[in-house]
Amino acid sequence: MRALVMTAPGGSENSEIREIAEPRPGAGQVSVAVAYAGLNFVDVMARRGDAGYVPAWPYLPGKEVAGTVRAIGEGVAGPAVGDRVVAAPVGGGLAEVVVAEAALTVPVPPGVGLRQAGAVPLGLTTAMLLLTDAGRFTAGDTVLVHSASGGIGTAIARLVSALGGGRLIGTVGRPEKAEEALKAGYDAVFPRGEALREAVLGATDGRGVDLLLDPLGTEALGLDLDVTAPGGRIVLFGNAGGGTIDALPPAGRLLAGNLTLTGFSHRGLAAGAPAKVARAIRRVLDLLADGRLDLPVTEIPGLAEVPAAHDLMAEGAGVGKYVVRVG
């Protein structure tokens, strides 16, 4: 079968399409014939060699797929061969066939196409868990999202609307990306820079935001603390810039503001609490099926074009959610 293989840390020069052996499911697993696979920034972090993302080289990236069940391992009582499913594999999803845990393989309901479903198991589900589980979102909250024009930022905007609505403020690394975030549903979008604190506080009449979702490591944590309202929540869910993670603020800063500072990892939940991730996947699929949620995606025509899309994401030039057609 064909698969995208990353051969060493670096850029697209170390990504290639190879013919490799088709994986077989073990106990508690299924294999999926991949129709569409989602692209995510975690693939970029793995490609550049960030610590903790690649167990060994060469590496097979890809952590969300939609397709049909191809084979079933021992002890699996859920999906049947031929069923339409989404799955969240630990890797290898940018390939014609991938193996995933049955616990993280969920049927696709009628009315949801596999193209859109390819954005669900990691991208949309991360956005759902960030809002509802880690962030304790309540309808009417004011939410600030860094990197608002990317795949997760776009998904959050769509989900806030589906979950009852709220005021959405976004930040972007490049001023020209603000328009895309506004189109996705943000009420105000600001480039990250020296005047960002004043811009956010001005947009909230000085009150600050109820929920702040930050994929930038600790790079913007000082700002986050400054613009979060009393009783607000800050969720750190990545390290997109790849820089050093600094020490967290003194407890007194959190106590004084009645603030909650939380970390989130889809990978950690998938390993330690797969049932929670599966429930979130089902909830997103149900929202798509009944028309309460819609997420436009940008289709990449084939695996050979994925490294160029990863380049755009690495440069901060990607917009929205990318899925690649595989089979």
For the segment 109-134, the average pLDDT, to the nearest whole number, is 97
Confidence of residue 21 (pLDDT cuts 50, 70, 90): very high
Tokens of 312: 């755009």
127-180 confidence digits (pLDDT tens) = 999 999 999 999 999 999 999 999 999 999 999 999 999 999 999 999 999 999
CA distance 273 to 115: 27
199-238 confidence digits (pLDDT tens) = 999 999 999 999 999 999 999 999 999 999 999 999 999 8
pTM of the full predicted structure?
A: 0.93
267-326 confidence digits (pLDDT tens) = 999 999 999 999 999 999 999 999 999 989 999 999 999 999 999 999 988 888 999 999
DSSP 217: T
167-179 core/surface letters (b: 16 or more CB in 10 A; e: else): bbbbbbbeeebbe
Is residue 187 within 8 Å of residue 143, measured between CB atoms?
no
